[in-house]
Amino acid sequence: MSTDKTTKARKGVTRREVLKIIGAGAAGVAATSVLAGCGAAPAAAPQQAAATQPTQFTPVPTVTKEVTLRHWMHLAPPDPLMHQFVKDFNEEYKGKIRVEFEEIPWDGIYQKLTTAIAAGEAPDTAELHDNWIGAFGKADWALPLDDYVVKWQYKDTISQALLDTGRTGAGKPMIRLPYSYVVTFLYYRRDWLEEAGVKLPTTQEEFVEACKAVTRPNENRYAYGMRGSRNGQFHWEPFIEQAGGAYVDENGKVVINSEAAKVGNQFYADLFLTHKVCRPSGVTDGWPEILDGLQKGEIGMFIHTINIAKLLTDALGDKIAFAKLPKGQREASTAVASGFQILRGTRYPDEAWEWISYLCRPENQKRILYNPDVSFIPVSTAVADDPKFKEPLYQISFESAKSIVPLPLWLPTYGEFVEKEWSPTFQSVLLGKMEPDAMMDHFAKFLEGEA
């Protein structure tokens, strides 16, 4: 994969800076948790299953039956390493614990997981996406992990800031053990810009001009990949923040309908409505459609993270490059941490902890770093001085992490906003059925729990 010349010439981030950025970047993701106020002290760890005790007449030890855990998560992009982790864990814990892994498509996992919980059929462990933390915390669907972490031999290899991304507020229980994280930056077709004689955009004004210069509707070629479907807010949020907007203010009050946020929203919507640099199908395009468009040469720019790099370089080689997001009123990026939870109702909480903490052992975190199929940033500081972090993709992630703006993950309404409300409402704007400012007013009411 190519980078722009400034990226190539940029001085590498030192080990000390990597450690600082990982902690500071994660702190940005978790920072809004303090706005939730002080809650109750962390709940006690789940009670351990009582061991079967032999009677005094039994001369031989009790035979322990192998425990089976059900684990659910999505893998997008496909990640053979997770399947290998399951295989290796089952071999190491043979006769004691066995994990049955069910891979669920991204578009269906939230609905399937919440439906299973309601029906009393939840798995023992599952991924817990940033978007869902507020809703899962409010509903008390996941077991607190604090007592497990305190006793864990590797607890000091994950920064407190990253651990706190699994809380729904200051003083609230930790319900997710972090596994990896990623930061947003810009992917772009280097050859398209060169062909049009346009330099790499570093401001939003330059971004619009570059998009116009490379868009050719008669050739079915469009500059920017608009994602109007589920999880499209992930690409919309940086534009709100770059305009000086935010979901909440310093007091935790919802301000998504502030004038600054409305300016950012209008700018983003105008890429489709006014400048017409997005495919008409952008109203309903999801990740599969955008990936297909990028690989086929129908889309030239997209905001995403390090984990899709291989998919693009395999298809486009050096034609695809990457850079920091073009600056608005301020620089802003977003980050997403991934991790795992233990669902309430499991009969085997201790064994479930063995499984999810296994994935965060230093040696397995290093396997994440050297995964040949998908790139993520491991959470363990035990690998923070690894030379692989000098590679350009990690460097651009760390530089983008310096401008992370926190999202209100602790808001109980944020999960439903992301999963069910954002997409159909934004689609109404793109279809001309709702004014952009009215959309932001509606979002404010929804996030406040009034809609």
Domain boundaries, the chain: 28-36+66-181+336-401, 185-332+413-447
Greater confidence, 60 or 181?
181
276-279: long-range contacts, CB 8 A cutoff, minimum separation 24: 276/215, 276/217, 277/208, 277/211, 277/212, 277/215, 277/222, 277/223, 277/224, 278/222, 278/223, 278/224, 278/225, 278/226, 279/220, 279/222, 279/225, 279/226
pLDDT of residue 426: 98
Average pLDDT for 235-260: 95
Kindly list the strands in the beta sheet with 67-73, ordered across the sheet, starting from the edge strand earlier in the chain. 97-103, 67-73, 125-127, 335-342, 177-183, 377-378
Is the per-residue pLDDT at 166 higher than 80? yes
CATH number of 185-332+413-447: 3.40.190.10
CATH fold match for the domains 28-36+66-181+336-401 and 185-332+413-447: yes
Q: Sorting pLDDT into bands at 50, 70 and 90, what band is 36? A: very low
Is the per-residue pLDDT at 14 higher than 70? no
From 231-240, 295-304, 402-411, the region with the lowest mean pLDDT: 402-411
Span 39-97, pLDDT tens digits: 332 333 333 333 333 333 333 444 478 999 999 999 877 889 999 999 999 999 999 99
pLDDT of residue 40: 30
From 69-78, 199-208, 217-226, 253-262, the region with the lowest mean pLDDT: 69-78
pLDDT of residue 168: 82
Q: Which residues pair with 222 in a beta bridge?
A: 299
Of residues 384, 387, 348, the one with CA closest to residue 365: 384
Is the per-residue pLDDT at 148 higher than 90? yes
Q: Sorting pLDDT into bands at 50, 70 and 90, what band is 174? A: very high
The tokens for 377 are 């940033």
Domain 28-36+66-181+336-401 -> CATH class: alpha beta
* Prediction pTM value: 0.80
Q: Sorting pLDDT into bands at 50, 70 and 90, what band is 410? A: confident
Average pLDDT for 227-256: 95
Of residues 284, 286, 283, 243, the one with CA closest to residue 266: 243
- Token look-up 């919507």 returns 269
Give the whole-number percent of the chain exceeding pLDDT 90. 72
Spatial separation of the C-alpha atoms in residues 403 and 398, rounded to whole Å: 10
Average pLDDT for 386-399: 93
Is the per-residue pLDDT at 32 higher than 80? no
Q: Sorting pLDDT into bands at 50, 70 and 90, what band is 1? A: low
Of residues 169, 133, 131, the one with CA closest to residue 417: 131
Share the mean pLDDT of the chain.
87
Spatial separation of the C-alpha atoms in residues 126 and 141, rounded to whole Å: 11
Question: For the chain, how far is it from start to end, CA to CA, in angstroms?
Answer: 45
The tokens for 390 are 């000098």
Return phi, psi of residue 436, to 5°.
Answer: -55, -40
pLDDT of residue 34: 30
- pLDDT winner (highest mean) among 38-47, 270-279, 308-317: 270-279
